[in-house]
Chain A
Amino acid sequence: MLGALIIVFREVIEAGLIVGIVLAVTRGLPRSRLAIVAGVLAGVVGAALVAAFAGAIGEALEGIGQEVFNATILLIAVVMLTWHNVWMASHGRELAADVKRVGEAVRSGSQSVFALGVVCAVAVMREGSEVALFMYGLVAAGGSTASELVIGSLLGVVAGVGVTAVTYLGLAAIPQRRLFAVTTGLISLLAAGLAAQAALFLEQAGILTMLSQTAWNTSWLLSDTSLIGRVLHTLIGYSDQPSVLQVVVYAATLAVIVVLTRTVGSRRPAPVTAQRAAAE
């Protein structure tokens, strides 16, 4: 039972962290709770479907269907996170400054909230499909220990939800003004890490073959299969043996997000300040 709990918990951590961050990031944005709940539910349904069709997905595209599928949904998450960061850069200050004046921002904000709902769905679907497969295997194997293992798995899921709660409460303790800077940074690193994971799947599929050398090996220091390693893997994209390509993709994604966020962020607030001055 403990074994099943640990395996499932390990898989759920990543989704739990991402949902926790998204909950904190969207605090105060209208309809964000609805979007996140819908995203998580869609993710659960998606996970069950992915697990049910694992065989068919794996055999698609001459055997690289699974890799292409994983890379695609990871890249969707990267785009959605980038979009949200850029949106927050242009409207976040207004939100923090004066909630009543941001009717316009709130209306366009629902798109950004939708994007993060998609991120939750993708995170839950990816991690959840492995959990669903594992539990499906337990049930299929049958035997006297199956029910105990299923209970262990369910406890693992509950522990994963606990990670979400801890992440959210931890971030919620940060003062609102500083929270914006923290979450912008978190989302940028999260997105870069997911892009590097996507690159890994494309390498595994044989689609990307350049720069495949191992950039460094820090598994002696911190294995990315350990608990801390897994948490850092999700939060900042830590990997103990990344390929050079993964490092390049990570750096490039981070650079693109920072440049986009900066340029949009520095351009937009000016007219808002002017309007506010005129109104006063």
Chain B
Amino acid sequence: MRVIAAAGLGLAIALGIGASLAAADEPATIGLTLKDHKFAPAEPTAPADKPIVIEVSNLDSTPSEFESKALRVEKVIPAGGKASVKVRPLKAGRYRFYDDYHEDTTEGFLVVK
């Protein structure tokens, strides 16, 4: 019983630290639009070591799936819809993203520096 309580407390503290760290760091917000199956801007920039929020507006008449293995993101955005995805703090580098339904035309890179 005591062990379970201790484990629970430990978990609560860990979650608390996680939450407070997230709260302390204001995320950088980036806006992207998807039109004619192309991202604009195609190479947005973001600061390193800060959480990032990417807001994607789909201006096309077809649904899209905003996806990036490097950013670990996968989100369906309906036609004419808008969605925001949260991305962990990143190291400097180029991170590829695309619309999974139109991967051939929709390539973009998040440039982190």
**Structural contact, A208 and B86, CB atoms closer than 8 A:** no
Within 8 A of B (CB), among A173-229: 200, 203-206, 208-210, 212-213, 219, 223-225
Given the complex, which residues of A lie within 8 Å of B79, measured CB to CB? 137, 140
Cβ-defined partner of B63 (8 Å) among A137, A223, A225, A243: A137
Taking A55-B78, A58-B76 as contacts, is the C-beta distance between A204 and B86 under 8 angstroms?
yes
Interface size, chain A (Cβ < 8 Å):
34
**Structural contact, B14 and A210, CB atoms closer than 8 A:** yes
Q: Tell me if A138 counts as interface (CB < 8 A to partner B).
A: yes
Residue of A nearest to B21 (CB): A209
**Structural contact, A206 and B22, CB atoms closer than 8 A:** yes
Q: Which of A3, A129, A130, A212 gathers the greatest number of chain B CB atoms within 10 Å?
A: A212
Stretch of B1-9, B39-47, B66-74 at the chain-chain interface = B66-74
Q: Show 29 A/B contacts (Cβ-Cβ < 8 Å), sorted by A.
A: A3-B104, A7-B100, A54-B76, A54-B78, A55-B78, A55-B81, A58-B83, A66-B75, A66-B76, A133-B76, A134-B101, A137-B101, A140-B79, A141-B61, A204-B72, A204-B73, A204-B85, A205-B86, A209-B18, A209-B19, A209-B21, A209-B22, A209-B51, A210-B14, A210-B18, A219-B70, A224-B69, A240-B69, A243-B72
Given the complex, which residues of B lie within 8 Å of A224, measured CB to CB? 69
Given the complex, which residues of B lie within 8 Å of A241, measured CB to CB? 69-70, 72
Q: Tell me if B17 counts as interface (CB < 8 A to partner A).
A: yes
Taking A134-B101, A209-B18, A209-B22 as contacts, is the C-beta distance between A54 and B72 under 8 angstroms?
no
Cβ-defined partner of B62 (8 Å) among A7, A58, A141, A204: A141
Within 8 A of B (CB), among A34-62: 54-55, 58
A242 → chain B closest CB, angstroms: 8
